[in-house]
Amino acid sequence: MSDVIQRARTILGRETFGLLILMAVMVLGFSLASPKFLTGPSLSSMGFQAPLLGLLTLAMLAPMISGGFNLAIVYTANISGLALAWVMLQFGGPEAGLGAIALGVVAALVVGTLAGAVMGAVIAYIGAHPILVSLAMMIFLRGLGEFLTRGGDISGFPPALAVLGHGTFLGLPVPLILFGLVALVWHVMLRRSRHGFAVYMVGSNIRATEYSGIDTKRTLVMIYALSGTLCAVAGILMAARFNSVRVGHGEALLLVTVLAIFLGGIDPFGGHGKVAPVILSVLILQVLSSGLNLIGANQHLATAVWGLFLIAVMILRSEQLAAIFRRKD
């Protein structure tokens, strides 16, 4: 048995194997605590909820691997959703056709990508710290969104858009399928492309990467532009899920994405990280949230548990963190 476990750990990797064990324990525990946990409606609900957190977490992933940070992911998603909403309202709101929806999706993707590219350009060419740049962008986008919406919601979308947020295909939630496709593309991009190689190189040692001939400035702009694109996808999904757009939608998800990233084994200093463990960490957090809800825990308690969860992960990885700090020193 020990040989089988060791072989599985070798094949899957330490991070993935450990997260699978953690998920199995949590699923077993919540199944015993609530007979409704492993029912069809409960699993379907998790399948509709997890993709939003997953998309925002993937949007945070590449900047973190590169040694940076993107605090503006939620507001980039919301401002992209506003672009989608504005286009559809120009074409009749609830009566807007598929062409208007497609045009709105393109507008949302352009807005999200542009916001990310601006952050990347400032980081790359000005040399400003990613946290400060993304914080400034977050404040700007929040203020812009509040100004455009007067602090309220924008609603009245065509029924066809709701299919993206509430529909199923072959029995699977459409948002889950979308998230799976995006995660696959992200995995291939990071592990099998020149850009992905450059992302890891920049995170490991940006100066050495420059000397090796890689255009680090272009790489940084691409990293944050693609992060913005993923935020836009999340914003489109939010609009479809909630049938409305508001600048404050999903504000609490920022810290949860950081928890998911850290739980997924991403090096906080950059240069290391994989998509698969991060996806598992997203699913674990969704299981935790849904499980606590099913056993009747208060929503605020769930938020507190997330914080304790992060502290526990930090303690469990204290040796790893110590090694990282020694390496950086």
Distance CA 290, CA 214 (A): 44
137-146 pLDDT tens trace: 999 999 998 8
Q: Which residue shows structure tokens 């525990």?
A: 29
How many angstroms separate the Cα of 258 from the Cα of each of 69, 75, 146, 235? 10, 15, 25, 18
- Quote the pLDDT of residue 136: 95
Output DSSP code: residue 245.
E
Per residue in 80-97, pLDDT (tens digit) is 999 999 988 888 777 777
The end-to-end CA distance of the chain, in Å, is 41
pLDDT of residue 303: 74
Cα 137–Cα 141–Cα 144 angle in degrees, nearest 5 = 140
For residues 318 and 314, the model is more confident at 314
pLDDT class of 166 with cuts at 50, 70, 90: confident
Q: Is the predicted pLDDT of residue 23 greater than 90, yes or no? A: no
Cβ within 8 Å of residue 71, ≥6 positions away: 131, 134, 135, 137, 138, 254
Mean pLDDT, rounded, for 293-312: 76
Angstrom distance (rounded) from CA 85 to CA 161 = 11
Residue 198 has pLDDT above 80, yes or no: yes
